[in-house]
Every structure is written in C-alpha cells, then in structure tokens.
Structure 1
Amino acid sequence: MSTDRLLLRGWRESDREPFAALNADPEVTEFLLGPMTRAESDAMVDRIEASFAAKGYGLWAVEVVGGPEFVGYVGLWDPTFEAPFTPAVEIGWRLARSAWGHGYATEGAQAALRYAFGTVGLAEVVSFTAAVNVRSRAVMERLGMTRDPDEDFDHPRVAVDSPLHRHVLYRLASTAAPSTARASHQASSSS
C-alpha cells in the first residue's frame, strides 16, 4: 500500500535492527511502557506478522519513497487488554525521531483507515494514548477522530502512580472517515 510519500509494506528481516533501535529510544517510547530490549522488539515483529497472517491486517513497516527504507510502523492492531471499549481495532503509529515533523504519521494513518474501512470492512476504528501525549492526540484529531471525555480510561498495564496511567480514547466510524481523495501533508511529530 502506498501514499504520495510512503510505502506501507510487509516486514523484512532487515527491519528488525532499526526497529529495535527505535524501540530502545527513550524519546520514542516516552509515552509507552518504556524502552524495549532487542528480544522484546523482535517478539513484537513476530506478533505483527502473526496478525497479518491471521486477520489480514496489522502494523505495516513504513518506508519513505526515495528515502529511508524503514522509519517505523503505521497500521491496525487489536488491543490485548480489557477495557470498556474492547474488543476493538486500533489505529496506531510509531516512528523514529528522524521521521517526526514530516506528516508521515497522518499520511500513513489515512491510508490505513482507507484499508480498514474499504478492504477489511470495519465499522469503526479507535485510537488511544496517554492523556499527556499531545503529538499523537493531534494526529488523531487531524484524522477526524473524536473524543468523548467520558470514555477516557485508566490503562490497566500502566502503574497507577504513573503520569501515563490516564488514557484518552478517540473513535472514527466508517461513515465519518476522510475521503480517499483527501491527503494531508500537515506536519506531524508523532511517536
């Protein structure tokens, strides 16, 4: 799957090393559960590949056309914890710092939404992040996703005393999805 500037593709063995470096970067993982080891990162790639095999969707490796062959991922994922909104399909992204500020998260996520609603036939996609993660929240809003503060939740895998414990939930129904003709090159600095 491609956009004007990005190739969203299957994972290659050569992606594992730069993905491990991305996952070990404290700035990239600032709003996650923290940096990952190489083994944890590789295990995540294995789970991503299993999702594509079982469900036909997952987190695509992102390549910049005419640029870096791997800058992170964008795609669809099933949350693996229980919450009032699960089961659901989440749209998410994680990009290397060098890819921040170019609008890649928004551009890639728009393509993933078209796939979610057009190919997979989902009725709705959600996205969530720590309430303090303003960069990812801005991407969600650029995608046309909406938030109901009554649906904010405490993430069950984050320590209660962590500033990341409280999460915000955004939703987008297929009927509210952006047109496939509308592309955005707005700056995005999502991790």
Structure 2
Amino acid sequence: MTEIQTPRLLLRRWRDDDLVPMAEINADPEVMEWVGDGSVRDLDETAEDIERWEEQWDEEGFGLFAIELLASGELIGFTGLSVPPYLPELEHEVEISWRLGRQYWGQGYASEAAAATLEFALQDRGLDRVIGIARLGNDASENVMRKLGMEREREATHPVHGYSLFVYAIDLTEYEA
C-alpha cells in the first residue's frame, strides 16, 4: 500500500469510508468552480471518480491520494498524479493536481501535499517531468505550482469548455537544482 506522511498529513489510497466526505467536498460549488464546467458532483459521481482513481493506481502505478489530517484522521481532499484526459495534446504527460474542502484552504495543506506528491513522482516513480494545469483566474492553484518550483510553460484552451488554461511544468533536473 502506497502511503506518504508529511508533518501534518497522510497521503494514502482510498477507503470505503472516504466516499461521503469526498462527496461533500465535491458538492461545494466554490470547490468545484475551477473544475470542468464548474458543476458539483453527487455521491454516485464521486463513487465513480474514486473507482476510476483506484483503477489508475493499478494501471499506471500512480494516481490520486486521499489526504487525511494526521491530527484527526479526517479526509480533507485529494492530491496526486494523472494523465490529463481532457487535453489530447498532453496525453503523454503526467499532471499533478489537488482538491481540498473549502474549510482547509489557506492553511498550506495543498502545498504540503503537492510537494510530497511531486517528490513521489520524480524520486519514487522515476518520472522525468510533471505538469500542472490551472484555469485562467485560479490564482490559488497557480501559487501552489510556483511554490513547487514549476514554471508557466504555455497557454492552452480547454477543448470542451473553451476557457484558457495555463500549463506549468518542472523536470527532474529543475527539481534537483
């Protein structure tokens, strides 16, 4: 079982009791504002998401971690690695992403979890490069990417929704520098 512990967090695979708290996070319009078309996701959609994330672990050797607060055992969201299925020009890239419940914003959890995930990607999984994708206006995600040492590489357009995206990247040599 793949787990990563940081000073405040446990990044781990998904469990059955994660469904309801993750569905509550996905049901918050403010959390989902920057995801896809901004629609919230219900319990069944969240269950499908978690099943897909777990399948990706089995197929790719990486995926999205559940993020648990060490102090309380509470699920606060996810972070992890995936291949961005919505951008065909990036189908050979691995993206780092995160989604946290609104009550956990502004406390450094996203940066802490993402930094551990980036190290996992480049050191443990042997990836040479990781990208991050942020929708235009999602300053919080861009800030996390910059904290990780990622640099804005280019702009893209979401093929379905038509909004602008920024693609950030870091490679192994930049990470080790």
TM-score for the superposition, normalised by structure 2: 0.93
- In the other structure, the counterpart of 1:41 is 46
Using the TM superposition, give the Cα deviation of residue 169 of structure 1 relative to its aligned residue in structure 2, in angstroms: 0.5
Q: Which structure has the highest helix share of the two?
A: 2
2:138 is equivalent to residue 140 of structure 1: no
Please list the CA deviations of residues 28-59 of structure 1 after superposition, one character each: whole Å capped at 9, or x if unmatched. Answer: 00111221122111110001000111111101
| Contact 1:24–1:35, Cα closer than 8 Å, also in 2 | yes
Using the TM superposition, give the Cα deviation of residue 97 of structure 1 relative to its aligned residue in structure 2, in angstroms: 0.8
| Contact 2:29–2:40, Cα closer than 8 Å, also in 1 | yes
| Contact 2:93–2:130, Cα closer than 8 Å, also in 1 | yes
SS at match of 2:31: coil
Unaligned runs of 5+ in 1: 180-191
Q: Which structure has the highest strand share of the two?
A: 2
Q: Give the CA RMSD over aligned residues.
A: 1.3
Using the TM superposition, give the Cα deviation of residue 177 of structure 1 relative to its aligned residue in structure 2, in angstroms: 1.5
Q: Which of 68, 80, 96 is 2:85 aligned to?
A: 80
Q: What count of residue pairs does the alignment treat as equivalent?
A: 172
- In the other structure, the counterpart of 1:57 is 62
| Contact 1:23–1:35, Cα closer than 8 Å, also in 2 | yes
Rounded Cα–Cα distance in structure 2 between residues aligned with 1:135 and 1:96: 14
Rounded Cα–Cα distance in structure 2 between residues aligned with 1:4 and 1:55: 27
| Contact 1:144–1:178, Cα closer than 8 Å, also in 2 | no
Question: Identical aligned pairs, as a percentage?
Answer: 37
TM-score for the superposition, normalised by structure 1: 0.86
Unaligned runs of 5+ in 2: none
| Structure having greater relative contact order (Cα 8 Å, sep ≥ 6) | 1
Using the TM superposition, give the Cα deviation of residue 157 of structure 1 relative to its aligned residue in structure 2, in angstroms: 2.7
